[in-house]
Structure 1
Amino acid sequence: MSFSYARTLVSGSVIADLEGDKLILPPFVLEELLRTASQSVPGDFSDAQLPYPITFQITNPKTRVITHGGVLEFNAKDEKAYLPKWMHDSLSLTNGSEVTIRLKELPKGTWARFRPMNVNYKEIPDYRAAFEGYLRSHYTTLTEGEILTIRQADSSYQFLVESLKPSNAVRIVDTDLELEIEPLDVGHNAFKTFKGDTENDIHVGKTVNGKVSKNAYAYWNVLEVDKLHGLNIELRIHSGDADLIVSTVRNPTTDAHLWSNFETASTKNIFIPASNSEYATSNELAIGVHGFSDEPVSYELEITSDQPSKSHDSEITITSDANENSPGYAKCDNCGSWIPERTIALHSNFCLRNNIKCELCGKVMLKGEEQKHWHCAYCNKFGDHLEKEKHIFIFHTSRQCSCGFEAESLPELAQHKRTTCPEKLITCRFCFNLVKQGNPSTNQHDLLEGLTAHESYCGGRTTTCVKCHQPVILKNIAAHNMMHEIEKQNRKLPPLCRNKNCVRTAADNVLKLCAICFGPFWSPTADPEKKMLYTRVARKYHSQLTTGCGQSWCKNLYCATGNSSPQDPTTAALSLTPLLKQLQSSTTAFMYLCVDEPTTKKRTLANILYKGEDGGGFEGEYADEFCVYSLEVENGDLSAARKWLIDNAPNVKRVP
């Protein structure tokens, strides 16, 4: 950068959704930058070149406190400078304070160490990926001593920029920045801000005891879960009232969980069947006990693999009387019980004086207890009137998600947050960053593929296929790879020479041998019945079996040199007879002829690949032709040939 620029502006009010380190500046700042740039180089005003990215040193002229940042937009209409809240607070600015911006080119950052300011950051699944993704999309610069605020969904997490290289202020755009997040020492300088009393481990088949206060959480992480069986979680409350919530991520809450039991009962159960997909595919299972009553809750928690034998729900349960319609029994008109006919009058008089039956659910109560009996006006819930307030609060009180969604109950809000909420955190299948999933994709194909809005956009980028070196859209790469797989499975090669010891391609001749192996048998004389041809083949075999080829590298089992066992002429004649019969009866039967040294070496390596003796496969996984061809492509490199087979050759048969 060959020019300088500085300007003092008035700071505007804090904009709530302004994140990262990017400022909103008035349009005249851009005009002044271009004018200053044009004056530093010859040429027209339109030829002015600004540095990329534009970075500023930002100073409070009263306190001389300095930080750095980039630019989001040059469209502030009131000629004020708008800063992110953390930067506004860091510089000790108020609405209307003066702030000085100075154009400054910062070196590329190579290394940065961050320290989380509290243990909340562990609430984020794969917090490192989330941190890196947020940093990449919201920050242009870093300055030592800054406290960065990272937003994930409706929560914020703070990290101190502890150390940077190569300078105490760097830019992080277009650079490979190595990040280091220092683990937080909870015992010394950290503070715990999430509402959690405990976080302990619990094993299946064990029972634990605990206490939790109002609006606090006690967390238990389930260990050694056998996913072949379902899981029954039972909470037995000794005093007070608490809610039972379960999730596949740590630290579930009443508005962010997978399973819950909010009933007002002394014993609460949640049974998760083995067939549940979230349970079957999760690596973790966390249980939360949430204190609801004003008094501290004392509880007992038990985890078993057995389904509960009875339900603790308060829904209507229909039971049958063993004496129903039995001879000698009559039904009481008040309570509905079947009573012996000889005592029905006495029972009916007593029942009418002392009992009353609910017309809605049929429950029989002592007179006076009906004042405590309660039915929900919105659902089929019924029970004691003491349950009413909590039931209405949990199941019939509307709540708003941070994304604006209006839920009619806590369970509905929790379901929304784990499914369709635009602010739900997902690991993008294309950029592998932890990001907000956004609204449903508007592309119908992407919607059918289950892509979120972020993945639909992110998957629209292109990459180069490592096989065909053609540009491919990321979200189409699976189909593109499938095309390569189909091509691979349908790939064909010319047949090999019929000579078992050869690696060359077969030529168009009567013996289906390569041109070199067929050479000794070629004759210009017409031989329609192949008698002369078979005679020459017999002489070749007889010579191999009796005297051999005399070559030290020979490994031909039908050669006296290769097998080190010369045969006498009579024995050799007997040995070659079956070979000639195979040759005459089949056009695919192997021949066994001696070859040169390079061919012998390739044949040996091809046999190693075919039999899987190199440790990379099993015998017959790939056809012999492809084993030979891979060595030709990779110039005899055995390991490279194995890789070529894996990438390009179709499988002949599957792994046993």
Structure 2
Amino acid sequence: MLLNISIDSSRNPFSDKIILSQNVVRKFIDDGVEFTTSRPIFLRLTAFENSKNGPVKLCSISVSVREFALEDSESVVIPWYLAFKMNILDKITHNKIFMDYALDNSIPDGSHISLEPLGWISWNNLQQNSQKYVNNHVVDEPFTEKFIRDDFFLKSFLEARLNNALSSITNGDYILMSTNCNGELSEKLYKFKVEGLSPGSTVSVVNTDLDLEIVRAIKYPPSTTEMNASSSERFINEQIRKNVEISIGDVISVIPAEQNTVFSLVDGSNLELRIVENDIHESGQIFFGSNNSVDFDCYSLSSNSAPSTVLRLQTNIDSRLDLPKGEVSFVVKFDKVSLAQLLKFTVHEKTSKIITNSSDHKLCSNCENWIPNTTYDLHELRCSRNVKTCIECSKKFINVGSVPTEHWHCSRQHSLMFGDTVHSQERHQRFYHEPQDCNLCQSHFQSFELMARHKHNDCPFKEHVCRFCHLSLLREKPTVESRYFGLSGHELACGMKTTECYKCGKIVKRMELDLHLDIHNAEKIDKAQRLQLALCKNINCCRTLGEVWNAQSLCDICYGQFYSTQDDSDGSQFLRKLERKYVIQLSRGCGSTFCKNLNCKSSGLSRLSTMPEIMNHVHKSLMTAPIFQFWICVDEATTKKKLVADMYAELKSGKYEIEWIHYGVNQIPVVTIDALDHWLEENAIATPPK
């Protein structure tokens, strides 16, 4: 019986391999079960739900064991994917589920499998609304015809990912494949439907020769003019210049007709933009700035400086740029207009690729992936034929006999840049090596790149949004002082004006207001760190302890009814009074209609009716030493404060420690969630992100 169920949603969430206790394998061995090293240990995992009428069977599924590493024999760790397939995610969260298992030796080795590619799903979307994707064809974006027709890529992907993530497959199932090995977490998941299996309805896919068939029975995505703009991958086909705010994880597709769209992010800190698809010329380029005036000739950063590092099937598929801090706006421009052009990009958090030594894996020098030792020789043989790497720039060319002759490099007056066609070389020459004049102030620059940065950052005749008055005005001519503070000429004059601090009423310069508020914040942190907070151990109370604590760690109000002037060093008097209090609460109640105490008759939440039941409950459940919590009734005002504190803790989960929430709810004159949030914002220390 497995009572303690944990979900793996970070390590190997897209696998069917569970983790069990060491005692489980010992029991199997003691029972005479023989295992083979070439075949997984298959179990039949059954989930039950506790109900008033007893356990109710929910579902049963075939799983394998990743490892026997847990200490508790009643514990199990199941991947998120299994809980998703069993449709029990919500029930596990609310501790309504327990499980049982049995050896399953009836699963044969698979010989044939038919898969229908459906599309891909964002991990973020799947977490937020898992029910939307259960047992159906729903995806965030269907696979393109080009993707589905590429047998080599599909079969190579499935060969590399299928049997190290999954051990068995059932006919009619919808499977989610991570783009990473072993079912590890990835931002994008490929969804397939199992259309056929041999020789059974459930087969093993580990250490067996599978005949893989790709079933192409789906409709390919419609044309860009018909695409719904609300989908995860958005198409914007309007001639007017418009603003579109994107979210982390969105995949954005842009065509030449969309060059008047300005995309924006609230904050680019610790974010990376990745171009996932561009043509062989890299005709689509992205230009970044700090406001919506950004354009191909007015920017602070461009994707020209980050050429693609992989070329596959005449398509550049990997180019990465670290985004600047603060608000980011950017546009996509095409310098070789063609109706067939398309640029896809996505924004995600920066990830550091950590390489660790492994005794059972080797690093492939061609594709730079970790490959199991058992398949390394075959992988290297195939990979060395299909992947060619440029010695100078390390760009990889997939499915080509050699590095193309048109491939070029340039490191004159800048870091190494490269491309694959004459057209891309001409664009590079135009941006980096041809002099250019600013069309606003007529200043001369050695390259188009320098001119564009000047126009975006320094040109006195270019409009910008002032950070102090928030109006769109000319920058004006900079001075030595404005350059020192990193301001435009207008911003320096505007920043010298004064304003009133909304916290203390002091008059300060606009440009010094942020520094002044930082002083207030430092004072808040210092005061908060000196405040020692501990919760009252009464479950129904929301107060914190005062400077003088009693032995039971109750607040002054809750402890007051048990106070005695007589010496009570062993706590026996307190326990007698506590026992009397519990018996009165459970037998007669406290008499308050607002009571929410689970151990009080007045609340209607206690089902104890007879005195023997009450006494047995008090002695065995409420007063068993050591006592870590108490169930004492409180007044109406405290009950309301406790409800507001609990609601806030649930709505703002993890933002503040519960001690701060309980302390704050007792400091505000009007107890509301908004008032509590404002008080905590001004006085409490937020929980640091993990």
Structure with greater Cα Rg? 1
- What is the TM-score normalised by the length of structure 1? 0.39
